[in-house]
Amino acid sequence: MTHSAGVAKAVAELLVEGRSRTDLHECEVARFEDVQRSEAYVSETSQQNFVEIYDILHPLQPKESPRNLRTSPFYPRQQELGAFFLESGGWERPHWYEANANLLKELPEAWQPPERDSWSARFHSPIAAAEAWKTRTAVALYDMTPLKRVEVSGPGALDLLQRLSTGQINKKPGAVTYCLLLDEAGGVRSDITVARLAAERFQAGINNNVDYEYLRREAAEQTAADSSRWVQVRDITAGTCCIGLWGPLAREVISKVSSDDFSNNTLKYFRSAQVRIAGLSVTAMRLSYVGELGWELYTTSDQGLKLWDALYEAGQEHGIIAAGRAAFNSLRLEKGYRLFGHEMTSEHRPEEAGLGFAVKADKGDFVGSAALAEAPEPTRRLRCLVVDDGRSVVMGKEPVYFDAKPAGYVTSAAFGHTIGKPIAYAWLPAEAAEGDKVEIEYFGRRIPATVSAEPLVDPGMERLRG
C-alpha cells in the first residue's frame, strides 16, 4: 500500500518496456536466502515490518529476531573476542571486537577519531578506528564467509561467464577477474570476481541471491539449448568459509604457517592458487576489498576454525587482530571500492559509476554490450567527497547540494581513519569537478564537502601490488 504508486509505475514499465526504470533488486522475490524462506521467518518478519512501517529506522538498526540463523565457523572465537554482531542475509557479522578496546590507548594522535553526533554514534564504536589502524599498519583477520560465492563448472562454464559478464574471463587457470553483470539496457546488475580454478571450473564472488538465481537460470537455459555446452552453478557459500588476511605484515604471518610460496612474483595480485596452510587445503586469492596486501583464504567449513586459530596464533608476534565491518567499510571507501546496491544499481551504467575500467569492450558481445555501444555521454557521475570540517560523519542517502541546488545524494559514507576525515560517495551532475564545493544536508544542517580525486588511499597501488 505504502509503495503503491511506485509499484504501479514499475509494473507498467515492466509490462510495456520489459524493464523497470527504477531498480527493483530490493523487491525481487529471489533476494531471500533459504533460511529466510521458512514459514516462521516470513511470519515473524512480516509482522515486524508492519510494526515498523512508519518508524524512522537507523541505517544500521539491527534485526532483533530471528537472529543467529547463520554463523561462520569462526563464531566461537568472535564471541570470545567480544564481537558486536549485526545481521545480514541471516548471517551474524562482527562490526567490531571489544577485545580491541585496549588498542585505543596506543592509537597515535592522528588516528584518534573525533566525537560523533548521537545519531551517527549509534551501533558504532571508536574501536573501529583502532581496527583500521592495525589493518593499515600491521595485519588483521576479516571474516568474509557471508560473501556469497558460487562454483560455475562444465564445458559451457566459460561461455556462460563470457556471455553474462563484462570481463575477459578466458585467461589461464589461476587468473582472477573483477567484472560486472549488466542488464540488456547496460545497467549494472552486479559486480563480481571470477577466479578460474581449472579450465572448466570457476569460483565467482557475487553479491546476493538475485545474482545466484540469475546465473542458475541462465545456466539451465544454456544447458537446455545445447547439452554439449552444459554448465552447472552451485551455491558453495554454506559449505565453505573465507578469511581475509590483510595488512602490510600479512606475508610474514602466512609464511609462518605455510611452506607455499607467497612471494610477490609467484602469487601475483589478482591471481589464485591452491595452497596448504597449517596442513589445511586452502584456495588463496590475492585481492583485497580493504586495499591492503594479502589474500582471501577459502577452505571448507569443517576446517575453518583450525585455519582461524593457525593464522591468529602465527600473527601474535606481528600484532594481528580480528577486525569487523565498521573498519572494513571505512577502508573500502578510502580505496574507492563500490558496493553494489549502494554506489550502483541497474539504474546506473558502468561509466557513470566509475566502473568503465571493468568493461572489456573488445572481447565480443555480452549482455548489455549493444546498449553500452549506443550509450550517451554521462550526465551524472559517482564522485568522492571529503567533508571539510574533518569531523561531521553522515550515514548515506542524504541530499547533496551543488551550485546551491539539490543535485544528487550520498550513496555510502564513513569516517576515513587513514585520511582523518569523513568520506562520502555521491551522485552529482557530470559538470561537478575536482575541487568543487558541495553541501550535504544532515538533520537540517548543510555540511560543506569537497569533490576529491579518488581513491583517497594508495592511488598508485603500491600497497596491493607490493
User: Which spans of this chain sit near ligand THG (rule: CB under 6 A)?
Assistant: 147, 178, 191-193, 205-207, 270, 287, 289, 296, 337
Considering the complex, what minimum distance in angstroms separates the CB of residue 125 from ligand THG? 23
- For residue 107, the minimal CB distance to ligand THG (Å) is 26
Q: Which is nearer to ligand THG, 120 or 207 (CB)?
A: 207
Q: What are the CA-CA distances from residue 437 to residues 56, 406, 416, 427 (Å)? A: 30, 13, 19, 14
Smaller CB separation from ligand THG, 290 or 322? 290
- Nearer to ligand THG among residue 120 and residue 135 (C-beta): 135
For residue 193, the minimal CB distance to ligand THG (Å) is: 4
From 387, 25, 356, select the one nearest 208 (Cα to Cα). 25
> Min. distance of Cβ 89 from ligand THG in angstroms?
13
Q: At 11, which amino acid appears?
A: V
CA angle in degrees (0–180, nearest 5) for 185-191-195: 125
CB of 52 to ligand THG, least distance (A): 29
Choose between 212 and 289: whose C-beta lies nearer to ligand THG.
289
At 28, the amino acid letter reads E
Among the residues of 279-389, which ranges form H helices? 304-315, 325-334, 369-373
Strand partners, 310: none
The DSSP call for residue 271 is B
**Dihedral in degrees, nearest 10, Cα atoms 235, 261, 327, 299:** 30
Minimum CB distance to ligand THG, residue 331 (Å): 12
Nearer to ligand THG, 243 or 438 (CB): 243
Task: Give the nearer residue to ligand THG in terms of CB position, either 251 or 286.
Answer: 286
Q: Are 286 and 267 in contact (CB under 8 A)?
A: yes
Q: Which residues pair with 96 in a beta bridge?
A: 84
CA quadruple 136, 141, 147, 152: dihedral, nearest 10 = 100
- How far is it, in rounded angstroms, from Cα 29 to Cα 450? 39
3-state secondary structure of 281: strand
Nearer to ligand THG, 147 or 449 (CB): 147
C-alpha 173, offset from chain centre: 24
Least distance from C-beta 357 to ligand THG, angstroms?
A: 7
Q: Which is nearer to ligand THG, 180 or 387 (CB)?
A: 180
What is the closest distance, in whole angstroms, from the C-beta atom of residue 298 to ligand THG in the complex?
9
Q: Which is nearer to ligand THG, 387 or 457 (CB)?
A: 457
Nearest approach in angstroms of CB 432 to ligand THG is 22
Rounded Cα distance between 104 and 421, Å, is: 18
Q: How far is the CB of 178 from ligand THG (least distance, A)?
A: 4
Instruction: Classify 458 in phi/psi space as left (phi over 0), alpha (psi -120 to 50) or beta.
Output: left
* Distances in whole angstroms, Cα of residue 197 to Cα of each of 62, 176, 273, 282, 404: 37, 9, 8, 12, 52
Q: Which is nearer to ligand THG, 145 or 153 (CB)?
A: 145
In whole angstroms, the minimum distance from the beta carbon of 191 to ligand THG comes to 5
Q: How far apart are CA 49 and CA 385, in angstroms?
A: 34
Of 287 and 320, which CB lies nearer to ligand THG in the complex structure?
287
- In the bound complex, what is the minimum distance in angstroms from residue 2's beta carbon to ligand THG? 31
C-alpha cell of residue 189: 546488475
| Closer residue to ligand THG in complex, CB, 103/192 | 192
Complete DSSP assignment for 435-454: T-EEEEEETTEEEEEEEE-S
Q: Which residue is nearest to ligand THG (CB)?
A: 205
What is the C-alpha to C-alpha distance for residues 413 and 63, in angstroms, rounded to an integer? 21
One-character DSSP codes across 369-397: HHHHHTPPPPSEEEEEEEETTS-----SS
